[in-house]
Structure 1
Amino acid sequence: MLLYALPRLSLENGPGWVFGFGVVWCLFAFLVIAAHLHFIIGVDEEKTKRLEAVRKAKLQQWQKKWSEETRVSQNS
């Protein structure tokens, strides 16, 4: 879409509505491309793995604390 539309946009007239539309349209197109590249590269995948490791560690701590409290209450 960018390759088709970019040559047809008029960015030569200087400040004005047409120029503003062209700039905003190009920025939006590049933003969409960047978002797709971000997803393809998998930047969020690494963050998700780290968060999952933290969740597992917290769950293990909670289970250990709960089992210790259960033992103490059973011994009383």
Structure 2
Amino acid sequence: MKGLKNIIYMSLALGMLLYSVPQLNIGEGFTLPTVAGVVWICFALLVIAAHLHELLGVDEETRQDLVRVKRMKRWQNEQKIQGKKLLGLRK
């Protein structure tokens, strides 16, 4: 389901980009409409790249490493708490 959402949003951004590029005033020199058009195109490409990055699963390995680290920290905290309980019972 997550991949489908990314495909839909990326397709919408790509369609929006393909529709709007011919209508933008680019190439008339360094004017405000040209700068706005270039910024808009860059933003649309950034959105498309972000969805493509998520679809390709580039961060999957990093995400799994973070899950392992969180599990280890949780286990260490549990061991510390159990150790304190044991020390409290011995006194």
TM-score (structure 1 length as normaliser): 0.77
Cα separation, 2, equivalents of 1:60 and 1:18 = 57
Q: How does 1:36-51 map to 2 (within 5 A)?
A: 36-51=51-66
- 1:55 is aligned, of 47, 64, 70, to 70
- The CA deviation string for residues 21-61 of structure 1, in whole angstroms up to 9 with x for no partner, is 22111111111111211221223433332222111111111
Cα separation, 2, equivalents of 1:57 and 1:27 = 41
Cα separation, 2, equivalents of 1:8 and 1:30 = 17
> What 5-or-longer segments of structure 2 have no aligned partner?
1-15
Which residue number in structure 2 is paired with residue 35 of structure 1? 50
Aligned residues: 76
Give % identity.
41
Cα root mean square deviation, aligned: 1.8
- Which one scores higher on RCO, CA 8 angstroms, separation ≥ 6? 2
TM-score (structure 2 length as normaliser): 0.67
> What 5-or-longer segments of structure 1 have no aligned partner?
none
Which residue number in structure 1 is paired with residue 29 of structure 2? 14
User: Highest Rg: 1 or 2?
Assistant: 1
